[in-house]
Structure 1
Amino acid sequence: MNTDDGRTMGVEEEFFLVDPTGRLVTRAEQALARADDEVDVKPELMRCQVESATGICRTAQELRDELTALRTTLHEGATATGARLVASGTVPHRQHGAPMVGPGSRYQRMAEMVGPIVFGGMTCGCHVHIGVSDRADAVRVCNHLRPWSPVLLALSANSPFHDGTDSGYASTRHLQWSRWPCAGPTPYLESPEHYEELVTALLSSGAALDRKMVYWDVRPSELQPTVEVRVADVQTTVDEAVLLGILVRALVARALDNLSTPAPRIPTAVIRAGMWRAAKDGLEGKVPDPTTGETRPTRDILADLFHDLGPDAAEVKSTMDYLRETGGGAHRQRRAFGQRQRLDDVLNAVTWTGKEGKEGKEGKEGKEGKEGKEP
Structure 2
Amino acid sequence: MILIKDGRLLDPKSKRDEILDIVIKENKIYKIGKFQVSDEYETIIDANGKIVAPGLIDIHVHFRDPGFTYKEDIQTGSHSAARGGFTTVVCMANTNPIVDNEETLSYINEEAKKANINVLQVAAITKGFKGKELVDMEYLKSIGAVGFSDDGIPIMDSKLVMEAMVKAKELDVPVSFHEEDPSLIGSFGVNQGKISDELGVAGAPNVAEDVMVARDCMLAIKTGAKVNIQHISSGNSVDMVRLAKSLGANVVAEASPHHFSLTEEAVLKYKAYAKMNPPLRTEDDKYKIIEGLKDDTIEIIATDHAPHSSEEKDKNLMQAPSGIIGLETSLALGITNLVRKGHLTTMKLLEKMTINPSNLYNLDVGFIEEGRKADLVIFDEGEKWVVSEFSSKSSNSPFKGQGLYGKVKYTICNGNIVYKD
User: TM-score, normalised on structure 1?
Assistant: 0.29
User: TM-score, normalised on structure 2?
Assistant: 0.26
- Which structure is higher in strand share? 2
- Which structure is higher in helix share? 1
